[in-house]
Amino acid sequence: KQEVTQIPAALSVPEGENLVLNCSFTDSAIYNLQWFRQDPGKGLTSLLLIQSSQREQTSGRLNASLDKSSGRSTLYIAASQPGDSATYLCEEDPGNTPLVFGKGTRLSVIA
């Protein structure tokens, strides 16, 4: 059964720092990988989607990379702000079975 692991479970950084969130998955034959943000008590908001043929995607201060051979993805956040505080979830689409989500990394950016 496919699994997605996110490390660390929680992270606290001072405002302005660059940071990296990690996601590892067991199935290298993925369709795509998606990063989401979730604020407390709210639904998930899609941040970036990387197709299996792509190595990275960028949106503003966010950059997500995908390395299928090692089963890893990273979400890089540049110049972090207090408004970035949220839980970040990684999700893998295996293609022929339902999506698999990690448990998330809870990020706190301290002003």
Partner 1 sequence: DGGITQSPKYLFRKEGQNVTLSCEQNLNHDAMYWYRQDPGQGLRLIYYSQIVNDFQKGDIAEGYSVSREKKESFPLTVTSAQKNPTAFYLCASTLGQGAIYEQYFGPGTRLTVT
Q: Which CB atom, from 12 or from 45, has the smaller least distance to partner 1?
A: 45
Would residue 71 be called left, alpha or beta, if left means φ above 0 and alpha means ψ between -120 and 50 degrees? left
Does position 46 bind partner 1 by CB under 8 A?
A: yes
Does position 95 bind partner 1 by CB under 8 A?
A: yes
Q: What's the min distance (Å) between Cβ of 40 and partner 1? A: 10
Is the Cα torsion angle 22, 24, 28, 32 positive or negative in sign? negative
Peptide bond into 14 cis (omega under 30): no
Exactly one of 11, 13, 49, 62 binds partner 1 (CB under 8 A); that residue is 49
Q: Which amino acid is located at 94 in the chain?
A: P
Which helix (H) or strand (E) is 52 found in, with range?
A: none
Does position 84 bind partner 1 by CB under 8 A?
A: no
Which residue in the block uniquely carries the two structure tokens 């043929």?
53
- Contacts with partner 1, residue ranges (CB under 8 A): 4, 31-32, 34, 36, 41-46, 49, 51-53, 89, 91, 93, 95, 98-99, 101-104
